[in-house]
Amino acid sequence: MHQTTSAVADTICRTTELGVTITDAAVDAQDRTRIFCEVLDPDPRCPNCEIAGQARDKADRILTDTPAAGHPVLLHVAVPRFVCHTADCPRTIFRANIEHIAAPRAVITSRTTRWILQHIVEDKMSVAAVARNLGVAWKIVNRAAAEAARTLVYASPSHLGGVRHLGVDEHKWKHVRGHGESSWVTVLIDLTPVIDGTGPARLIDMIPGRSKSVLKTWMNDRDQAFRDRVKVVAMDGFTGYKTATAEELPTARIVMDPFHVVQLAGEKLDRCRTRIQQATCGHRGRKGDPLYKIRRILHTRTDLLTDKQKALLFTSLTSHDGHVAVEIVHQVYLQIIAAYEHRQRREGKKLMWRVIKRIQKGLPPGLEELAQLGRTLWNRRKEILAYFDVGVSNGPVEAINGRLEHLRGIAQGFRNLDHYILRSLLHSGQLADRINAL
């Protein structure tokens, strides 16, 4: 009788495909179905010495499985434990391997991961709805889906296939509490379409953390074909990324991104402006202050300014002799942009080299921000100038705008990093037909 009942239950719950057989079931106080089962043909071999151990007892492992009759299911797997008697083996007790049911340390079965992705990707179900159906926390579904989506996206040959220009960015995850490394992510972008003029930059991956080792590990995990294909790695000024790239992709050319160079110069311009503002007015920027009024105009290329804005810029900068420092930093800022925008890259490179050489040292006092900028640009001159040697067909402005757009997209509305990764990756590959391969 017991056998028959068990066989019926196994057929209904499809537990045979998991390699287990149902021994008992109960409905708990939270209206979840708890299914108790035993492993069919457990592997008695010790993971260390591979010699069969002696059966000892069983340990319960609880896993969330796919819903049954519309109710959440908790699978209690009685995992056999064995004692290893091999003389030199360091292992004494071990559990039978049940990786065909669930990954190590996972709290859901592997088939539930597949079920989650099917419902999110194919049925467009929300993470919250899926979590409700499974009777688990939103976080668990989200993490499982993000990890599985990442695995699937990587399995897609188109995902990393054409990447010749790789962009690496650090991004502060503003919704994360605290200021430690955990609030940073490393963003990997395929810039090849921008360089080729075939489309916008494409998100490849986001990895929690910002360090040399985060990027080094990611690069190390890629296959040789990918490492050989990447010719240029564009990045910001963070030296950890530079070292990681030099070590992992020694043949790739490291380029410092125009966007970050312009941003760096813009920051120094702002700092200089607020310092002079404080010195000449004795307070932080207020509405009527001449330097405060032009704070945005200062960041705009001259040819994009209206005549009225140009006039305002001129009167504000000349209204006080102390403003000359702001004017000088502003000029350098514009020269850096002009170098990037030059129609001929060779000429642009010359302009940039002149700017870097001029401000690298020996500046008169009162230009502290510019001196700092000069030192940074000098230290990174090789990567900054390398930009001009790298094939760019679509003009650097698009590259800058594309990057800006991308960073803005990242910052918008996503309170949870895993969720952002999931949503981003879902749209970056042909996921649907790959889910069943999980």
**Interstrand relation of 232-235 and 253-256 (parallel, antiparallel or unpaired):** parallel
Asked whether the beta carbons of 233 and 429 are under 8 A apart, the reply is no
Minimum distance from residue 389 beta carbon to Zn ion (Å): 58
Structure tokens at 427: 């749209």
* 89 near Zn ion, rule: CB under 5 A: yes
Residue range at the interface with Zn ion (CB under 5 A); choices 31-39, 84-92, 159-167, 255-263:
84-92
Structure tokens at 171: 């991004």
Nearer to Zn ion, 84 or 152 (CB): 84
Nearer to Zn ion, 81 or 271 (CB): 81
Please tell me the distance from the alpha carbon of residue 298 to that of residue 207, in angstroms, as a whole number: 35
Minimum distance from residue 47 beta carbon to Zn ion (Å): 8
Place of tokens 């499985």: 65
Nearer to Zn ion, 63 or 84 (CB): 84
* 86 near Zn ion, rule: CB under 5 A: yes
Minimum distance from residue 87 beta carbon to Zn ion (Å): 9
Asked whether the beta carbons of 301 and 334 are under 8 A apart, the reply is yes
Helix locations, 191-306, DSSP H: 192-196, 212-221, 224-229, 239-248, 258-281, 290-293
* 83 near Zn ion, rule: CB under 5 A: no
Window 28 to 47, contacts with Zn ion (CB under 5 A): 46
Residues in CB range of 140: below 8 A, 6 or more apart: 64, 107, 108, 131
* Strand partners of residue 24: 36
Minimum distance from residue 83 beta carbon to Zn ion (Å): 9
Minimum distance from residue 51 beta carbon to Zn ion (Å): 6
Nearer to Zn ion, 91 or 381 (CB): 91
Asked whether the beta carbons of 103 and 110 are under 8 A apart, the reply is yes
Q: What are phi and psi of 432, to 5 degrees?
A: -50, -45
* 299 near Zn ion, rule: CB under 5 A: no
Gap between the terminal Cα atoms of the chain:
36
Place of tokens 């045979």: 16
Asked whether the beta carbons of 184 and 173 are under 8 A apart, the reply is yes
Nearer to Zn ion, 89 or 297 (CB): 89
Among 21, 38, 49, 52, binds Zn ion (CB under 5 A): 49
Among 91, 227, 275, 358, binds Zn ion (CB under 5 A): 91
Minimum distance from residue 50 beta carbon to Zn ion (Å): 7
Structure tokens at 112: 């539930």
Residue range at the interface with Zn ion (CB under 5 A); choices 17-25, 76-84, 130-138, 274-282:
76-84
Report which DSSP code applies to 158. Answer: H
Among 11, 48, 379, 393, binds Zn ion (CB under 5 A): 48
Nearer to Zn ion, 51 or 59 (CB): 51
Asked whether the beta carbons of 233 and 245 are under 8 A apart, the reply is yes
Minimum distance from residue 175 beta carbon to Zn ion (Å): 47
Number of residues binding to Zn ion, judged by CB under 5 A: 7
Report which DSSP code applies to 119. Answer: I
Nearer to Zn ion, 48 or 318 (CB): 48
Asked whether the beta carbons of 170 and 410 are under 8 A apart, the reply is no
3-state secondary structure of 70: coil
Minimum distance from residue 42 beta carbon to Zn ion (Å): 16
Nearer to Zn ion, 84 or 313 (CB): 84
Minimum distance from residue 411 beta carbon to Zn ion (Å): 52
* 318 near Zn ion, rule: CB under 5 A: no
* Strand partners of residue 75: 35, 63
* Strand partners of residue 170: 186
Q: What are phi and psi of 38, to 5 degrees?
A: -120, 150
Residue range at the interface with Zn ion (CB under 5 A); choices 49-57, 156-164, 266-274, 417-425:
49-57
Please tell me the distance from the alpha carbon of residue 323 to that of residue 327, in angstroms, as a whole number: 6
Among 84, 134, 201, 215, binds Zn ion (CB under 5 A): 84
Nearer to Zn ion, 46 or 215 (CB): 46
Minimum distance from residue 49 beta carbon to Zn ion (Å): 3
Nearer to Zn ion, 68 or 89 (CB): 89
Summarize as ranges the residues that interact with Zn ion (CB under 5 A): 46, 48-49, 84, 86, 89, 91
